[in-house]
Structure formats: C-alpha cells, structure tokens
A and B are shown apart, each in its own frame.
Chain A
C-alpha cells in the first residue's frame, strides 16, 4: 500500500538556508546535515527574487541535492515562465511547485501540466485565518491576499489538472504548535488530488495527528533540528507503533 510521506522542506534565500518564519539565516546546519536516507522527499524553495533571471546559486543547490540524494526532489519559488520551469526540470527535479504565478497567469500552469504531465506539477496554497474564523488565500510569500471565496480559487487551480496540492498554514508556519487540522479538514474535502501539508509540525504527535487523516498524503517539516540523523527514523518508528505506514523497513538504518 501507499505510504504516508515525511517531506523535508528547505527554504533558501540567495543560496543560504533559512529558517522560515523569522527568516533568519541558518549557518549552523548545512545541507550536509540533512538525513538524506530517511526523508521520503525533499522540497527546495527559493525565496530570493530576481526580476527575470534565475538565481544561479539556487540552481547549484538543486544540483547538489540531485547528485547526492537519489530521492524525489521538488523545487519551488519564483517559477513564473516555461523557461524557468524547464531549467529546474533540466537540473533533475522531479516536480515543481507553482503558487503566485497562477493568479495572474493560469494558462502557464495549464501549459506546464501539458508539457511535463500532471504528476510533475504541485500547486501550493497558502492560507491564513481571518478575524471571522474563516480562511483567506495569500500569494507572494503571504504578502498579498486573494479576494473572494478560497474554495472557488482552489477549484480554479484544480481545473488545470495539477497533480498535488501543498496546503500551507501561514498562521502555524514555524509555530511548532501542530498542523492546522481545522484548515485541513475544511479544505481537503474539496480537493481530489493528493494533499501534502505544511506548517506547524513541532513534535511526533503533531505528525500522527495529521497523517492519520485519510485525505493527507504527506507532511512537510521545515525545522532543521528535526532531522539530525536519528530523528526521522525515530519519527517513523513512532508512527509505525501507531499504525501509520511510512517507508521505514528498507532504509539501511
């Protein structure tokens, strides 16, 4: 049967690994520290923005991971042209993540799905709770709100045949307080493709709480101190005891 995925999500600014939320550079942990052999997938996000050209420092990081991980590598951040997407796929990325570009140019998303196939294009959706206890969608790294019904916007994204949705809770991102289960339960019933979730994983119970949901295929974790060598395998052992199936038995540890 299909296993639930534990996904490591790493954010880079100008080629330097950053802790999210506060966007502080993290020099203590280098990419060499990442426990390559127990993650199920790695997401690399570039948050530096260059007008037209692609960030060469980030491209080098993608190449480093492709050369060393032998795992699915997913790449996002600032992909707003076919050319940029091609460059990322040419580096060996398995999938790309789109987000803000769909708002102004949904045809780009459709076109990338046609060229690279549905399963190669993930769409991220960043949501934040408003004062009425409902959710708004944001783009451009949480800077710009999308007016209107969030479900309608998600349906528009799904109409492009994008292969997965990455649901990100802006409120819980970096909080370590757990995934936003209310958000996930509210949105996931409208989504018919695999859903991966991000934002808030702080302890093993948080992963259990979210991965036990049928609608959730994988959980991302961004906080680097979770993935010292032993921690991902101990997370997977913890989940196994609780009857959540992850890929555990065929790693060499």
Chain B
C-alpha cells in the first residue's frame, strides 16, 4: 500500500486518479497515525517550500517521514516533494528540508538561465543510469514540468536524470530507497503513469 502524504496544499486528487488508473492500492496520510500498512510513500507537492515545510512540521509528519525513510521505506518525492528531499531551500527565505539527500534548492534565476522563469511545459528527462523507476521509458520522453526552483550541489552518484532548460537541471534523483522527480508524473500521461507504476513495483 502506498501512503500519499497530504499536508493540506498538495495536489492529492491527481495522484489519486493516477494510482486508480493503474489499480495501485493507496491511502492518504495526514498525520503520524495514518501509516498503518503503508509500505511506500509518495510525497507530492504544489505550493511554495515555506508553506510546505511549515505544514510538514505542524502536522507532525516530519519526524515520522524521516524515520520511516531512514528505516528503508521507498519514497517518491514529486516537484516540491522532490525539493523537500534535500537539506535546504531558498524559496521565500531559507528553509530546512528533510535532509535525505545532500543538496540545496535555489531559484532558477540564480542558475544563469537565459530563459523565462518558471520553467513550464513538456520537456525531456535524460536518464543517466539504469533505474527501476524509468523501466520501459526511453530517454527522449517528455514530462510535464512547472517550477521556479531547482536543486544544486547534488552528488553525481545520486543524479538519475537531467533536463536541459538553458542549463542542465537536475530533475531526477535516486539514493537507495529515495527517489525524486522534478516533473509531475501524475500529469504526464502515459510515461508519467508508467513511472508511477514502476515505483509501485519497487520493493
């Protein structure tokens, strides 16, 4: 059973409709008491990092998430949930993430991108190495992106995929049981749904 973390501003119904489409069992986790039978976690995200991390703390989800993941439970962070995997984010101030992967999240405007920000639309994710998450998904496939911030200072070993937008952006990571994608697989039709299905099969 996949637990979808709901902190009140995340885009839950789209994740739910994607999981239903693929007949994957799930439950919504709003507090630390909702984790019974949960074997995997999806951490979705719409919103700004500030609100997101505050809600994560306020709903006492921070500790339980960190403990479960450190104990080996697979997690897929999506968009803001992807940003939350790193140490720090500089969105509207300086905020702590879950610190599961070394790195920090900075505005695209600071990354010397000579293009419009936010990065919105369909773009490719170039997969750097073999991963169960991208099983059956070729390198030139498009996913839906919408973000103004991006992680930097991530160790090469953990970078799973990158996307070109005026600069090479880190858009997928993998570190043991921890997975994260910048794009929205739940909004990326066939390839996105396949990625979610792949995650559901990781044990």
List residues of chain A with CB under 8 Å of any chain B CB: 1-5, 37, 40-41, 63, 66-68, 70-73, 89-95, 113-120, 163-164, 192-194, 217-218, 247, 249-252
Given contact pairs A70-B187, A95-B146, A247-B142, A115 touches B118 in the complex (Cβ within 8 A):
no
Q: Is the CB of A250 within 8 A of B9?
A: no
Residues from chain B with Cβ under 8 Å of A114 in the complex: 48, 50-51, 92
A-B contact pairs, 23 of them (CB 8 A): A2-B119, A2-B145, A66-B14, A66-B17, A70-B186, A70-B189, A70-B192, A70-B193, A72-B184, A91-B13, A92-B14, A92-B17, A94-B46, A113-B48, A116-B51, A117-B91, A118-B48, A120-B146, A163-B148, A193-B116, A193-B118, A250-B142, A250-B190
* Interface mask (B1-41 → A, CB under 8 Å = 1, otherwise 0): 00000000101111011101100000000000000000000
Residues from chain B with Cβ under 8 Å of A194 in the complex: 116, 118, 120-121
Most B CB contacts (10 A, CB to CB) among A3, A63, A113 go to: A3
Residues from chain A with Cβ under 8 Å of B165 in the complex: 1-2
Which bucket holds chain B's interface residue count?
A: 35 or more
For the A-B complex with A3-B123, A117-B91 known, give 20 more contacts whose Cβ atoms are closer than 8 Å.
A1-B165, A66-B13, A67-B20, A70-B186, A70-B189, A70-B192, A70-B193, A92-B16, A94-B146, A94-B187, A115-B9, A116-B9, A116-B46, A117-B148, A119-B118, A120-B47, A192-B116, A249-B140, A251-B190, A252-B190
Alpha-carbon separation in the docked complex, A250 to B143 (Å) = 10
List residues of chain B with CB under 8 Å of any chain A CB: 9, 11-14, 16-18, 20-21, 46-48, 50-51, 80, 91-92, 115-124, 140-142, 144-148, 164-165, 184, 186-193
Alpha-carbon separation in the docked complex, A41 to B142 (Å) = 13
Alpha-carbon separation in the docked complex, A137 to B117 (Å) = 24
In the complex, how many angstroms separate the beta carbon of A127 from the nearest chain B beta carbon? 20
Most B CB contacts (10 A, CB to CB) among A91, A117, A217 go to: A117
Alpha-carbon separation in the docked complex, A164 to B46 (Å) = 16
Q: Is the CB of B192 within 8 A of A94?
A: no
Alpha-carbon separation in the docked complex, A93 to B10 (Å) = 10
Residues from chain B with Cβ under 8 Å of A93 in the complex: 11
Alpha-carbon separation in the docked complex, A2 to B145 (Å) = 9
Nearest-neighbor residue (CB-CB) of B117 within chain A: A193
Alpha-carbon separation in the docked complex, A117 to B48 (Å) = 4
Q: Is the CB of A119 within 8 A of B18?
A: no
Q: Is the CB of B146 within 8 A of A119?
A: yes
Residues from chain A with Cβ under 8 Å of B193 in the complex: 70
B122 interface neighbour in A40, A89, A192, Cβ under 8 Å? A40
Residues from chain B with Cβ under 8 Å of A252 in the complex: 190
Residues from chain A with Cβ under 8 Å of B47 in the complex: 115-117, 120
Alpha-carbon separation in the docked complex, A70 to B12 (Å) = 13
Alpha-carbon separation in the docked complex, A90 to B10 (Å) = 8
